[in-house]
Amino acid sequence: MSVFGKVHLGYVVIETEKFADWRRFGRDAIGMHLDETLPDVMRFRLDDNQCRFLLQHGPGEDATALGWQLDDHATFDVVEARIRSHGVPISAGSDEEAQLRGVERLVRFPGPNGLTQEMYVNPLTTTVPLQLAATGGFVTGDSGMGHVAIATKKPHQMRGYYSTVFDARLSDYIDETISGLKFKIRFLRVNERHHTVAIASVNRLPINPIRTRVQHLNIQVAELDDMTTSYQRVKDLGFQMALSVGQHTNDKELSYYAMTPSGFEWEVGWNPIVVDENTWEPTTHQGISIWGHTPEGQTVVELFERFKTGAQSVLHPEDPVPALAGAGIADS
């Protein structure tokens, strides 16, 4: 049984000690609903779900887990059986952990690059009215809440992992040069959204220049004005911009990239294409953008740190969870 189309990115867990900065970034700049009703955590909402981003205290300054919503208990059982059949441990989340995430039937299992994977069936909703600076709201629903981009030294194994677990399909490739390094990026979908996981690697070099487990997170606004006005709020509030407004070559999304207080990037996008499974054929695009997405504010020191991180990554093993990744899936 394929679970494609029955899997949706539901929430992201972030570890940080910069709650004050994240409050200004998430609520005031990006425009999400801030929820501080629970002790010792901060949550952001995009819709009626109780939680889309869970921020917990810790020194990591990074995303620590992805939460996947499955359509029903039958789909959940299929995925759980797959994982167990490969000898990979699954642990049940506690009632308190499920409450923090606003979900039911929570489990977790190891993911590539040290990024824990969590899954659940029923998200809990709330009747508390949304207070959004993005007045048109965010696009979630059947396509999930957005996407994640991950840099890795083992891209074929990471693609194999998401294919094994969630029947992920290849949407396309992009070849791009970033900070002098040649990257290949693979875009995987698990539902109608063009991609929910983007996998980036440096061509022919076993290095990863990104310190964090995720290179960027993406959320989608329903109206173009909300994308452009949030871009201006990010700049007006003094947060660093990574890439200016531009349009992507593959999914045609208009977006910008801001730097989060934790050091990874945050993309706000509008109007990406929806994949038609009957006609879609993967292809390779040259460059991430048709226009725009110009780097902003990047210093020589930051470039040096990225190269330093890449060089040091050679010495650090990366766990692709081989029991689920298998031999991987080579680029076609």
Name the residue range of residue 110's domain.
7-123
CATH code where residue 176 lies? 3.10.180.10
pLDDT band at 307 (very low <50, low <70, confident <90, very high): low
Q: What is the pLDDT of residues 162-213, one digit of tens each?
A: 999 999 999 999 999 877 789 999 999 999 999 999 999 999 889 999 999 9
Domains of the chain: total: 2
Q: Tell me if 331 is assigned to some domain.
A: no
Residue 278 pLDDT exceeds 90? yes
On whether both 77 and 203 belong to a single domain, the answer is no
On whether both 302 and 269 belong to a single domain, the answer is yes
Q: What is the pLDDT of residues 16-70, one digit of tens each?
A: 999 999 999 999 999 999 999 999 999 999 999 999 999 999 999 999 999 999 9
Q: Tell me if 328 is assigned to some domain.
A: no
Residue ending a domain, choose from 57, 89, 123: 123
Give a three-class secondary structure readout of the chain: CCCCCCEEEEEEEEEECCHHHHHHHHHHHHCCEEECCCCCEEEEECCCECCCEEEEECCCCEEEEEEEEECCHHHHHHHHHHHHHCCCCCEECCHHHHHHHCEECCEEECCHHHCEEEEECEECECCCCCCCCCCCCECCHHHCCCEEEEECCCHHHHHHHHHHHHCCEEEEEEEEEECCEEEEEEEEECCCECCCEEEEEECCCCCCCCCCCCCEEEEEECCHHHHHHHHHHHHHCCCCEEEEEEEECCCCCEEEEEECCCCCEEEEEECCCECCCCCCCCCEEECCEEEECCECCCCHHHHHHHHHHHHHHCCCCCCCCHHHHCCCCCCC
Q: What percentage of the chain reaches a pLDDT higher than 70?
A: 95
